[in-house]
A and B are shown apart, each in its own frame.
Chain A
């Protein structure tokens, strides 16, 4: 039970400062879940993101469910996800109720302009930190470069990239297995 509450509370804290949705959650997860709590490894977080891209639903919710389920089963999955959406939902309800022109407010816009830059830099910094764990060989560099370029300059959907990359990984693994058998 303590574990379930801990899950809820840890994700609630992350949800409260997670500006910009799923991707913005990566630096927070790296800090809170990997470094501080030890609930998942860096590799697992990356796997969760990859799976979150090609399974239906909001990515941040998928990732929360993965971590929560690993730690505390189905109850853990609900606790982590509920935690993640708890504070953002309250904030939205308050804003929708009281502040009709919240997003047009000049102070909100100015503060947000700083936060937006910061979140992007945080995300890029998290990528630099996770690089070694995720890109281990030439094939990895190739997949990374190809997906990055294509996703920046085309409108191909993320789930297509994820599915293709998984297939490439599978085939490359098979080829090296066959080569290994011959030796």
Chain B
């Protein structure tokens, strides 16, 4: 998410917060939760005092049971971190400008994409210009050349620049087909969908798919097909066997009255229940959705309702840029961010049980503790869930501090 969306969201967020502050609201949220501080840990990123934020830049590597995070000063320095749950250690592997031997004119502002892993344990991500320099300076000497696809080998520490997507464009998110190694990308600000075969250095541009806003999230199904949304919040599927885009006929569910600015932003996070063949989605219009992908065509879409049932506020208001699924089959997400909170100055950790449809607030945090959190479907082999957290530093303008959130709904992780 860039600051443009932050500014645009703020007015709507204030409305939501105001409505939620009405008398009686709190009782609507009264829930009993067994979750305690022992279930949650905040883990800092060492050796990077200027660290400002994390974005969608987090992912899980099953081959090594590690979590990888890209941390940025939101200007020109991006640290690549690895968290090893077995050692309970967070390590800075280096800064990608140095690791990839980028020239000065190849500067990058952040990793916005998720971090995806291939079966051999390599991880992939893409880079982003970060801000206005990228979008406006272009061919100017201070301009942005374009975002890169990158591959990191944790065994050797080698970071390989796989090449640029499109000139002047960031690559906001990527996905991988683990069977073929094909990478998918979405560019910013023109929202071009890219299909990239690193083995052949073959990059294909399938064109622009969005309107004024670039939806940030790509996701794949078990066949390796990749999904995005168009400006009507319809699923767009890259069907790999036919090498073509397939557009859903209907838009994803949305609350009546959802503003167009929410619709064009589409999906903000996902989590996969692979055993059941379900991909859970959350939209910018605060809908939870169960998507049942099919190998060919678009599968069934099931509306699970809002991310939180306040009964008081506009249902499309809450902002949820993250989603995880526990080994218990329940969904976990943190509501709040970009000035948009369902409780005044608080983010809330919510549990959703697909079996019962019950949504429970497990924890509340002041926004000085968690301002917002990102990350989709990050769970280690012990069932720990991870979010890329960020806390705004009060009185310091836009300054913020990133940290990793580790959460296990069923275990004391501080033992």
Is this pair of chains taken from one and the same complex? no
Q: Report which A residues bind B (CB closer than 8 A).
A: none
Q: Report which B residues bind A (CB closer than 8 A).
A: none
